Amino acid sequence: DWTMGAYREEAVARIRDQVGDKKVICALSGGVDSSVAAALIHEAVGDQLTCVFVDHGLLRLNEADEVVAMFRDHMNLQVIHAQEQELFLGQLEGVGDPETKRKIIGRLFIEVFQKYADRIDGAEYLAQGTLYPDVIESVSFSGGPSVTIKSHHNVGGLPEKMGLKLVEPLRELFKDEVRALGRELGLPDHFIGRHPFPGPGLAIRCPGEITREKLDILRKADAVYIDQIRKHGLYDEIWQAFVAILPVRTVGVMGDGRTYDYACALRAVTSVDGMTADYYPFSHEFLGETATRIINEVKGINRVTYDVTSKPPGTIEWE
């Protein structure tokens, strides 16, 4: 009879078989898939695995430190924290077009990953957290009509270019199985249950031109919003929730003064696979309380709106 414990042992044996005594590198994103893949491969081949965590300066509050600390200190993985915030934010300066932003981030991500990977002597394998639905999707969509709404960035094409072979230990699993495996491997529950986070990060939650100031404000507002959602016990009912900072300032009053600060939009959706989504029906009390907290606690925001668009016709992210 089939258990996740048995699957884990079998998967570990297969990875050892495939990799032998060679070195493996992995781009750790902080997402569930790459995290579980890394934890599993680490169990199989230990320090033959090195992870590279690319910090593009577009992560949430404290996210980079938390992810790196968890893998390094708690799980004992070798993790390179690639601090490349200046590079990414510098190249994105003055760029407002969504697709251009994505392309810049995707290109830099590959350059940076390659730069760090080159320092790992004799790496022969690249680990990826590809799931079964990813495998199916790339087959059933090929050749059919396709409309590209947003170019998703990943490390596609990278293995060939770098002469690396792939290790994809999650290729037979669905998302819920990956979560179960992650728990089995000792990843904390709050980490396993995290909402998906896009590769381009906060760049696509800051419509138009990105500035450090806007990113700082956005990080703080997002942290308050997620705290509210957790406090109200709603986190696990929601597929994804985040704040977008709008490229517009509005007039407000605070005490006996006039303010002229950014407006933001709260987003929360339910979904099965991210392809379609419904906005989450928060109570007015929740929304009012959250707006008050954000405006009181986050300097730079004086207006909060709630996005009630479903997908389609909207998309989940704002860009």
Angle 313-95-162 (CA atoms, 0-180°, nearest 5)?
90
Binding status of residue 311 toward ligand XMP by CB under 6 A: yes
- State the nearest-atom distance from the C-beta of 6 to ligand XMP, in Å: 31
Which amino acid is it at 252?
A: G
Q: Which is nearer to ligand XMP, 67 or 123 (CB)?
A: 67
Q: How far apart are the first and last CA of the chain?
A: 46
Query: By rule CB under 6 A, what string of x and - marks binding of each residue 21-50 to ligand XMP?
Result: ------------------------------
- State the nearest-atom distance from the C-beta of 230 to ligand XMP, in Å: 19
Which listed residue (48, 130, 240, 290) binds ligand XMP by CB under 6 A? 240
Lookup: tokens for 111:
């350059």
Environment class of residue 162 by beta-carbon count within 10 Å: exposed (0-12), middle (13-18) or buried (19+)? middle
- State the nearest-atom distance from the C-beta of 38 to ligand XMP, in Å: 17
Query: By rule CB under 6 A, what string of x and - marks binding of each residue 265-294 to ligand XMP?
Result: ---------x--------------------
Nearest CA to 98 out of 48, 138, 59, 150 is that of 150
Binding status of residue 181 toward ligand XMP by CB under 6 A: no
Beta bridge partners of 250: 261
Angle 155-161-167 (CA atoms, 0-180°, nearest 5)?
60
Beta bridge partners of 305: 265
48 secondary structure, DSSP code: G
Query: By rule CB under 6 A, what string of x and - marks binding of each residue 86-115 to ligand XMP?
Result: ----------------x-------------
Query: By rule CB under 6 A, what string of x and - marks binding of each residue 138-177 to ligand XMP?
Result: ------------x-xx------------------------
Q: Is 30 annotated as a binding residue?
A: yes
Binding status of residue 196 toward ligand XMP by CB under 6 A: yes
The count of chain residues that interact with ligand XMP, using the rule CB under 6 A, is 14
Compute the distance between CA of residue 83 and CA of residue 57 in angstroms, rounded to an integer: 8
Q: Is 201 annotated as a binding residue?
A: no
Q: Which is nearer to ligand XMP, 156 or 196 (CB)?
A: 196
Q: Which three-class secondary structure string do you get for 140-205?
A: HCCCCCCCCCCCCCCCCCHHHHHCCEEECCCCCCCHHHHHHHHHHCCCCHHHHCCCCCCCCHHHHH
Binding site: residue ranges? 29-35
Which residues contact ligand XMP by CB under 6 A?
A: 102, 150, 152-153, 196, 198-200, 240, 274, 311, 315-317
